[in-house]
Chain A
Amino acid sequence: MDSELIRVIAFLVGIIAFAALNAAYLVWLERKGAAHIQRRIGPKEVGPFGLLQPMVDGIKLMTKQILIPDGVDPVLFRLAPILAMVPAIMSFVTIPFSETLVARNINVGLLMIFAFASVNVLALLLGGWASNNKYAVISAARAVSQNIAYEIPMLITVITMVMITGTLNLNEIVAQQPNISQWYIFRFSASPLMPVAFLIFFICSLAETNRAPFDLGEAESELVAGFHTEYSSMGFGLFFMGEYANIVIGCSLAVVLFLGGWQDPFGLYPGVWWFLLKLYLLIFTVIWIRWTFPRTQFYGLLNLSWKILIPVSMFNLLLTAGFLKVF
């Protein structure tokens, strides 16, 4: 019992540290990646390669004053940033970093992540609504309809995955993919559309986390800063960290469901390093996408979901069901 308590506390601290460190250093990675894509250098003054920049940024954010504008809903306004961060951290609980490195190996881990992920949109909605700012309200409305539209194909894809794997336990799903030919992205025996399913999942997780090219919520050229227009100091900081934490969650799930999690592609040395390698490759792709494409238009975004992603994921669901029945 005692060791179990220590384990929980250690993981709790570890997860929060992991989430915060990731948020901080993904900002660094984002800035460096963007800079080199744009043939600049990026942060370079603070520490070697600007590695201390996130720390300095964090200190700056923390020392700023939290401004509460007139006419905002004081409770919701303060609550929203916390609400953006907490579900993201909670979702880390069930991510299997390696066979043993998992805070809680819950049987319904997959379900739990999606439950918490849907709280995230509530934070945007509340933050935007409570701000008493027209830009923020428009942004909140956009974020909600976007999330609703993309939750559907994402969940259909996940249902397909659950049908194939037969479990909601993330560690078991990883265990089913011992080498590269067994990874679900290449498991053509389950459904010939598996790479497409991965793509749908990846696109949806981009949209769910409001990342470019689906960053309509913060479309800075239209809505200034969207739902966090009125936030300053760590209020803004938490939204910011929440966004990066959500990216990590989204990419982790993609790695777990499709790319074999902590498994070695050749089945030799499975471990946490494989997980992190795959995770950061995916995250780099997210950053790479952001700095390549313009933002989608609102109807384009919804059309993509309703006219392409949902029909295709539905088709994949039926196809998979058929394959399961036949083979």
Chain B
Amino acid sequence: MDNAATNNQETFVLNVGPQHPATHGVLRLKLTLDGEYVVRAEPVLGYIHRMHEKMGENRTWAQFMPNTGRMDYLSALSYNHGYAAAVERAMGITVPERAEYLRVITVELNRISSHLVWFGAYLLDLGGFTPLLYAFDDREKILNLLESVTGSRLTYCYFRFGGVYNDIDENFVDGVKEFIKTMRRSLPMYHNLVSKNIILLKRLKDIGPISRETIRKYGATGPVARGSGVDYDVRKNEPYSVYPEFDFEVPVYHEGDSMARYMVRMDEIEQSMRIIEQALDKLPAGPVMAAKTPRIIKPPKGDYYQAVEAARGSFGVRIVSDGTNTAYRLKLRSPSFSNLSLFSAVSEGMLLADALALLGSLDLVIPEIDR
């Protein structure tokens, strides 16, 4: 028991996790509670720490690619993208346009599937079971599409330096269009079933408000930041790939509560669909791999940084190269790490149930925090 707890008879320590339904993985929260009120919350990390950064130093640049998909298993393609773009930046490789379009299409599909999992799992946190199954039904369609292109369903390893692994098949474009049609029907259903539900509104409105300043001080990004009125999206603010060619909005809500973060993600599903539609319409013909990609990747000496907007926020890759075929140093900046770090500051004084609602609204993927 904690010292604070033994000294004060009114408080006790509740261990939430590492095996607990609310933590979605092996995260542990050491909560000091006064009744049901959180006095102090301390997340304990590292239960699935695998030292990806050291692995990066021990294998060739190309061999590290599968690792990126295993950090955030829900939006693996964004992580593929971040790493591929960082090495391409270091090598000065120009990616063919078709390949960039395919990257954007698959990444955005992946983002939708990630948000759908979050939506279902979050409702599960809040005690609603059925939306999970509906969301997984829709997500299944995305997984089928991505499987037909990438060959795997979750831990994709689709991107290569200079392009993508292989071109789409003939059914993909129609399949995606069909999916967008069904998703456009599903979204209003989700809003009627869940977003407008009085019980959900009561549970999320004004719960876990995060101020703009807290967001900045803790370096939170992604939907968590955008739910607090921060108009920051790497796709817009630091455009990469072919994102500048698309017309899409960055949903921003100013309330900063759990409901705002919820609405940001739901709106992002719609915006991702808009990007996919435009990308499908504009999809250029051509090769999917750069012709001049060197066989052996040896980026010139120096350090390079690349950020991409993953489903959970800004994913950054910092490469330090010494000009050999392995990385000298590979820093993976994962968004959930920063997003979770503000939890203990924000959850103070909240009810247990609200604190867990806040935790869910941060959309954590533990392997990505622990790396």
**CB within 8 Å of B: which residues of A?**
34, 37-40, 134-135, 138, 142, 212-213, 215-216, 219-222, 224, 291-300
Knowing A38-B133, A221-B356, A222-B356 are in contact, say whether A293-B36 is a contact too (CB < 8 A). no
Closest to B356 in A: A222
Least Cβ–Cβ distance between A197 and chain B, in angstroms: 21
Q: What are the residues of chain A within 8 A of B200 when measuring CB–CB?
A: 294
Instruction: Identify 22 residue pairs between A and B in the complex whose beta-carbon atoms are under 8 Å apart, listed by A's number.
Output: A34-B129, A38-B133, A38-B134, A39-B133, A138-B352, A142-B36, A213-B127, A219-B353, A221-B22, A222-B352, A291-B129, A292-B128, A292-B193, A293-B127, A294-B126, A294-B127, A294-B128, A295-B126, A295-B128, A295-B203, A296-B199, A297-B357
Q: What are the residues of chain A within 8 A of B137 when measuring CB–CB?
A: 39
Q: What are the residues of chain A within 8 A of B127 when measuring CB–CB?
A: 212-213, 215, 219-221, 293-295
Q: Is B123 an interface residue (CB 8 A)?
A: yes
Least Cβ–Cβ distance between B18 and chain A, in angstroms: 13
By secondary structure, the B interface counts as helix
Q: What are the residues of chain B within 8 A of A294 when measuring CB–CB?
A: 123, 126-128, 194, 197, 199-200, 203
Q: What are the residues of chain A within 8 A of B351 when measuring CB–CB?
A: 297-299
Q: Report Cα–Cα, A295/B128, bound state, in Å.
A: 6
Q: Report Cα–Cα, A298/B128, bound state, in Å.
A: 15
**CB within 8 Å of A: which residues of B?**
12, 14, 20-22, 36, 123-130, 133-134, 137, 193-194, 197, 199-200, 202-203, 207, 351-354, 356-357
Q: Report Cα–Cα, A297/B258, bound state, in Å.
A: 14
What are the 7 A-B residue pairs with the smallest beta carbon separation, nearest first?
Answer: A295-B127, A294-B128, A38-B133, A294-B126, A300-B202, A221-B125, A297-B203
**Contact across chains for A296 and B352 when beta carbons are under 8 A apart:** no
Q: What are the residues of chain A within 8 A of B20 when measuring CB–CB?
A: 224
Q: What are the residues of chain B within 8 A of A220 when measuring CB–CB?
A: 21, 127
**Contact across chains for A38 and B356 when beta carbons are under 8 A apart:** no
Interface centre among A224, A291, A292, A298 (most CB of B within 10 A): A292
Closest to B126 in A: A294
Q: Report Cα–Cα, A293/B203, bound state, in Å.
A: 12
**Contact across chains for B199 and A298 when beta carbons are under 8 A apart:** no
Interface centre among B36, B129, B200, B203 (most CB of A within 10 A): B129
Q: Report Cα–Cα, A195/B142, bound state, in Å.
A: 46
Q: What are the residues of chain B within 8 A of A219 when measuring CB–CB?
A: 127, 353
Contacts A221-B21, A291-B130, A295-B203 given; 5 further ones with Cβ under 8 A?
A: A37-B130, A212-B127, A220-B127, A222-B352, A222-B356
Q: What are the residues of chain A within 8 A of B352 when measuring CB–CB?
A: 138, 222
Knowing A213-B199, A221-B21 are in contact, say whether A292-B12 is a contact too (CB < 8 A). no
**Contact across chains for B353 and A298 when beta carbons are under 8 A apart:** yes
Interface centre among A134, A222, A296 (most CB of B within 10 A): A222
Q: Of the candidates A38, A138, A213, which one forms a contact with B36 in the assembled complex, judged by CB atoms under 8 Å apart?
A: A138
**Contact across chains for A292 and B130 when beta carbons are under 8 A apart:** yes
Q: What are the residues of chain B within 8 A of A135 when measuring CB–CB?
A: 14
**Contact across chains for B36 and A297 when beta carbons are under 8 A apart:** no
Q: What are the residues of chain B within 8 A of A39 when measuring CB–CB?
A: 133-134, 137
Interface centre among B126, B127, B200, B356 (most CB of A within 10 A): B127
Closest to B121 in A: A221
Q: Report Cα–Cα, A229/B328, bound state, in Å.
A: 50
Interface centre among A38, A212, A293 (most CB of B within 10 A): A293
Closest to B12 in A: A134
Q: Report Cα–Cα, A135/B12, bound state, in Å.
A: 12
Q: What are the residues of chain A within 8 A of B129 when measuring CB–CB?
A: 34, 38, 291
Q: What are the residues of chain B within 8 A of A291 when measuring CB–CB?
A: 129-130
**Contact across chains for B12 and A221 when beta carbons are under 8 A apart:** no
